[in-house]
Structure 1
């Protein structure tokens, strides 16, 4: 079943905050979504953290690209949306989303 909601999370130098952000997304009561984690050439271990989430939860997908900034990372994420996705949102990698 295709996700109804696509969530794009740009990632750059956020290893300190990223696990809490991704945990908050994984804990959502609404389950019909995908998380597109866009590694914008991060110099820290953020991509490795995102890779772990992608390995254990099929809703999480890691996309890698050269550093181009926040807008470019968001735009890259938009090119990877599930074709049937109805809604799109952006979550910054230091955000915490309430479960409901």
Structure 2
């Protein structure tokens, strides 16, 4: 299975690295980061991440909001992509969660969507 992880990023210079490095899966995947008109150093941080992770695509656009950015990411997926997930630049996946969600999806033919849990730390 090939997976696309779509990440809208707005002023995420301090958090996007943690989000990207939380992606823990055995599946083939691409990461599509949409820089949604950030006014901080997000562009530089995404450029550095792209050097470290060759499977990252970065798209820069004027600020259009997270929903439009997600749609841009969907349009940019490779043609051979089987499934996609969204990840916000200030969130992160827990270890092995992506593979658990993929397994659930693959083991249940009637499944169209798998939704993971959200956890918050003590400080919200």
TM-score > 0.5 by shorter chain: yes
The runs of at least 4 aligned residues of structure 1 exceeding 6 Å deviation read: none
Segment of structure 1 superposing worse, 87-96 or 50-59: 50-59
CA RMSD of aligned residues (A): 1.3
Within a 5 Å distance, the mapping from 1:15-26 to structure 2 comes to 15-25=13-23
TM-score, structure 1 normalization = 0.89
Cα distance in 1 for partners of 2:15, 2:52 equals: 19
Cα distance in 1 for partners of 2:86, 2:25 equals: 18
Segment of structure 1 superposing worse, 75-84 or 28-37: 28-37
* Structure 1 partner of 2:63: 67
Give a deviation string over 1:35-92, Cα, whole Å, max 9, x none: 0000001001112111111122111111111110011111111111010000011001
Q: Which ranges of structure 1 fall in alignment gaps of 5 or more residues?
A: none
Within a 5 Å distance, the mapping from 1:23-62 to structure 2 comes to 23-25=21-23, 28-62=24-58
Higher Cα radius of gyration = 2
Cα distance in 1 for partners of 2:26, 2:43 equals: 25
Cα distance in 2 for partners of 1:31, 1:20 equals: 20
Q: Which ranges of structure 2 fall in alignment gaps of 5 or more residues?
A: 97-124
TM-score, structure 2 normalization = 0.72
Cα distance in 2 for partners of 1:92, 1:22 equals: 10
| Matched residue SS, 1:62 | strand
